[in-house]
Amino acid sequence: MPEKEQLTPSNPVSRRQFLKGAGIVIGGTAMGSVFLLSSCGDGGEVTKTVTKTTTAPGQTVTTTAAGQTATTTVGAVTKYICPFDNQEFDTLAALKAHLEANHVGADAANITTLTVNGDTYAFVDLKPYTSLLYLLREKLALFGAKNGCNMGECGGCTVLMDGKPVNSCLVLAVEADGASIETVEGLSDGITLSTVQQIFYDEDALQCGYCAPGIIMSATALKREKANPTLDEVREALSGHMCTCGNLNTYMAALLNLR
């Protein structure tokens, strides 16, 4: 089990947040690629991370080396940071105005912001076909949602969008603009499990586990709505999920406390 990491004044940035920022890559434009992140921690601390990428289209990689990723702590505010000159802005609108005025080629109109597991991210120049699943996995390194079919058939990629389960492979990232996304990583710090995770843990209810993150998200939405669902409600909530280990009955039995 991962060891718990304390947020302290001398360690204001959690390793989780740090890694999240460090692994980010952007599908680029001819001009440049931008990733903006501002993240509110609890207890009034705010972490802001700026990451720049190189300009080759599509496959540029950001690393934490050589000061490319800067991580600092400021007061309890969200800052939007220009990826080109590091100037800080209090609002997205101000940043957009700055981009338009100062950085020719950066499409200031095409900024997608979304909140994932409580952290707010802004992306510039997302391709129109980029799926939410791709964005979560390849740009935010949140690999919990699985690509089982990439066409809405298996439920492996299920995340919560504004509290409702969606197949993230079928949601365009730009469609999620302004939405709040929850993924399996957001349910637990790896030590304290969520209600549904705990139920499955107690029943030792997983086999290979590939379908589990998606099923956990659908079951989470169900349990939030109804603490003690009926068989038919469980059936319906899980009906969009496949499990080729044949483990659906075990998940269902666990949610219904049958065995």
Partner 1 sequence: MADYAVVGKAGNKEKTIVQKLTGRLDYADDRLPGQKLVARTLLSRYANAEVTAINTSAAEALPGVKAVITYDECPMLYKSIRRWGQEIAAVAAVDNETATRALELIQVTYQEGNQISDVEEAMKPGAPLTGVWEGTNIRTSELLRGDVEAGFAQADQEFTETAGWTNFWQHKEMEPWSATTYWVGDDLYVWTTSQNPFGQRNTIKNTMGWPMHKIHLISHGSGSGHGNKHGANWIIIAAVLAKKAGMPVSYHLTRFEQCCSSTAHQNKGKLEMRVGVKNDGTITAVEATYWADGCSGGATTASGMDFGFRYTYNVPHAKWTFYDIATNTPLRGAFRCVADPPGDALYNLVMDKVADKLGMDPLEFRIKNLVAPDMLQFESKMPFSSMGIRQCLEQAAAALDWDTKWHQPGNRTLSDGRLHGIGIAGHIDSHGQMSSPCGAILNLTKDGKCLIAPGQSHNAGSINAHCHHVAEVLGMKYEDVHVGDWGHTDVTSEGGSEGGSTRCITLGSAYVEAALDARAEAFAVAAGWMGLTPDKLSAGDGLIFETANPTNSKTWVEVAGRFSYPIIGKGYSWPKKLRRQVLNWPVGTDCEVRGQMAQAVEIAVDPDTGQIEVLNMASAIDCGQAIYRSGFNKGCFGGHEIIMGETLMYEQVIDYGNGASMNPNFWQNAHVTAMDIHPEGFNAIAVETDDACGPHGCKGVGEPEVSALACMANAVYNATGVWIDSLPITPDKVLQALGKA
**Sites for partner 1 among residues 4-43 (CB under 8 A):** 23-27
Q: Which amino acid is at 219?
A: A
Q: Which amino acid is at 61?
A: V
**Sites for partner 1 among residues 85-144 (CB under 8 A):** 127, 129, 134, 137-144
User: 129-158 burial by CB neighbour count: b if 16+ within 10 A, else e?
Assistant: ebbbbbbbbbbbebebbbbbeeeeebbbbb
* Nearer to partner 1 (CB atom), residue 179 or residue 217: 217
Is 33:60 a contact under the CB 8 Å cutoff? yes
In terms of Cβ atoms closer than 10 Å to its own Cβ (0-12, 13-18, 19+), residue 12 is middle
In angstroms, give the least distance from the CB of 166 to ligand FES: 9
* Nearer to ligand FES (CB atom), residue 53 or residue 250: 250
Euclidean distance between CA atoms 231 and 145, whole angstroms: 25
Binding mask 173-212 for ligand FES (x = CB under 6 A): ---------------------------------xxxxxx-
Is 147:214 a contact under the CB 8 Å cutoff? no
* Nearer to partner 1 (CB atom), residue 11 or residue 198: 198
Mode of pairing for the β-strands spanning 69-74 and 46-53:
antiparallel
Binding mask 47-86 for ligand FES (x = CB under 6 A): ----------------------------------------
Phi first, then psi: what are they for 246, rounded to 5°?
75, 35
Instruction: Select from 31, 70, 74, 149 the one that contacts partner 1 (CB under 8 A).
Output: 149
Q: Which stretch binds ligand FES (CB under 6 A): 95-103, 112-120, 136-144, 242-250?
A: 242-250
Q: Angle at Cα 59 formed by Cα 127 and Cα 110, nearest 5°?
A: 25
12 counts as binding ligand FES under rule CB under 6 A: no
What the block records as the tokens of 133 is 């699943």
253 counts as binding ligand FES under rule CB under 6 A: no
28 counts as binding ligand FES under rule CB under 6 A: no
**Footprint on this chain of ligand FES (rule: CB under 6 A):** 147-150, 152-157, 167, 169, 206-211, 243-245, 247
